[in-house]
Amino acid sequence: MNSSTKQKLDIQKAESSRIGQVDFNNLTFGSTFSDHMFECDYKDGEWQNPTIKPYGPLTISPGAKVFHYGQAVFEGMKAYKDDDGKVWLFRPEENFNRINKSSKRMAIPEFPKDIFFEALTELVKIDKEWVKKGLGNSLYIRPFVMATQVGVSASPSTEYKFMILMSPAQAYYTGDVKVEIAEHYSRSANGGVGAAKAAGNYGAQFFPTNLAREKGFQQVIWTDASKHEYLEEAGTMNVFFRVNDTLLTAPISDRILDGVTRKSVIALAKRDNITVEERPVSVSEIVEAAKNGNLKEIFGAGTAAVISPVSAFSYHDTVYDLEHQDNGFAMRFKKELMDIQHNRSEDPFGWRYEVL
């Protein structure tokens, strides 16, 4: 399916940088883009013309299949600058493998590994000034693929565009979040595309999340679509529950994203001899644990916020509060992960990837 012929990466540099116009102390997540982007088209059965070029608009037919059939997948990753000015990625091979896994589920041709890594590292090198030092600062990287064939018949596209955009992101603390456990709406079906970072999975969450927000909750903890008995994901993150000193999280399935932060948290926990149970976690056991005081923490895990502690959850119109744990698992894993990402600690698992 992939072309194995290595294609030469074409690099077209921007005439001037927009970096001077950016206030790095007041960034809105995901809304400012760096000077360059990567673009590569799939046509006639192969990925061709990999190009780094100045960030700018696309010219695309309104009949392109991405607009009509949501045949699109993406990834989220970050580049970090350490105090010596070296730039690092975090487990980029995981993102590469996952975008191809997502693509396969969405009938999109896989992208070649050599082009992915060359494009990724060259793009970060060219826009290295956009990666700022300081714990929590990063350059958010968004690889994505979209169906570009023109046609409004519901069948897989024969043409695609693979792109990488980059957006500077700030260290931020949004506060602990209040979440609502889903009792009516759901995120994904058995045999569906929940395990893929398919574009449509995210748009489908906006309406139920808006309803939760109107009630004062920032996110939804999704449950299984069949009976809403088991806890699955929190908003766009994986979710962990600490009951006494045991860490619980739903197992990977075709409904649940195989999160890089999720698997990193599990690795850190196991290294520290914390018992981790990857198994279906029922709403009833968590409610019970909340009632009897055994539920110590809930937190989301994902690339954007790293770890996001939950301060309260709602179920059957009852709100269960959780005490903030300054020295809890959430804050500890967040610090350990960020220290590894920013090259401030050892890297026992070999997760860091040096770009320059």
Stretch that binds its own copies, among 14-22, 78-86, 192-200, 331-339 (CB under 8 A): 192-200
Q: Work out how close the CB of 281 gets to its own copies at its nearest, in angstroms, rounded to a whole number.
A: 19
Residue 203 contacts its own copies per CB under 8 A: yes
- The strand pairing partners of 80, in sequence order, are 88
According to CB under 8 A, which one of 5, 21, 26, 153 is a site residue for its own copies?
153
Choosing from 226, 244, 284, 318, the residue that interacts with its own copies (CB under 8 A) is: 226
Contact with its own copies (CB under 8 A): which of 3, 19, 29, 159? 29
With CB under 8 A as the contact rule, which of the stretches 148-156, 259-267, 269-277, 347-355 interacts with its own copies?
148-156
**CA nearest to 341, candidates 356, 353, 328:** 353
Interaction pattern, residues 297-316, with its own copies; x per rule: CB under 8 A: -------x------------
Give the residues across from 184 on adjacent strands. none
How near is the Cβ of 192 to its own copies at its closest, in Å?
Answer: 6
Please state, in angstroms and rounded to a whole number, the distance separating the CA atoms of residues 322 and 286.
12
User: Pick from 202, 215, 271, 275: which binds its own copies (CB under 8 A)?
Assistant: 202
Backbone angles phi, psi at 248, to 5 degrees: -115, 140
Phi, psi of 276 (to 5 degrees): -115, 125
Reduced to 3 states (helix: H, G, I; strand: E, B; else coil), residue 132 is coil
Label residue 296 exposed, middle or buried (CB < 10 Å: 0-12, 13-18, 19+).
buried
CA 238/CA 258 separation, integer angstroms: 8
Confirm or reject binding of residue 327 to its own copies (CB under 8 A): no
CB of 293 to its own copies, least distance (A): 31
Site for its own copies contains 137 (CB under 8 A): no
Q: Which of residues 228-287 bind its own copies (CB under 8 A)?
A: 228, 235-236
Q: Is 190 in the site for its own copies (CB under 8 A)?
A: yes
d(CA 48, CA 39): 10
Contact region with its own copies (CB under 8 A), list: 89-97, 119-127, 137-145, 342-350: 137-145
For its own copies, the binding residue among 15, 174, 184, 350 (CB under 8 A) is 184
Q: Which of 349, 353, 163 shows the shortest CA–CA distance to 265?
A: 349
| Residue of 177, 307, 329, 331 whose CA lies nearest to 244 | 329
- Provide the 10 A C-beta neighbour count for residue 18: 14
Asked whether position 210 contacts its own copies by CB under 8 A, the answer is yes
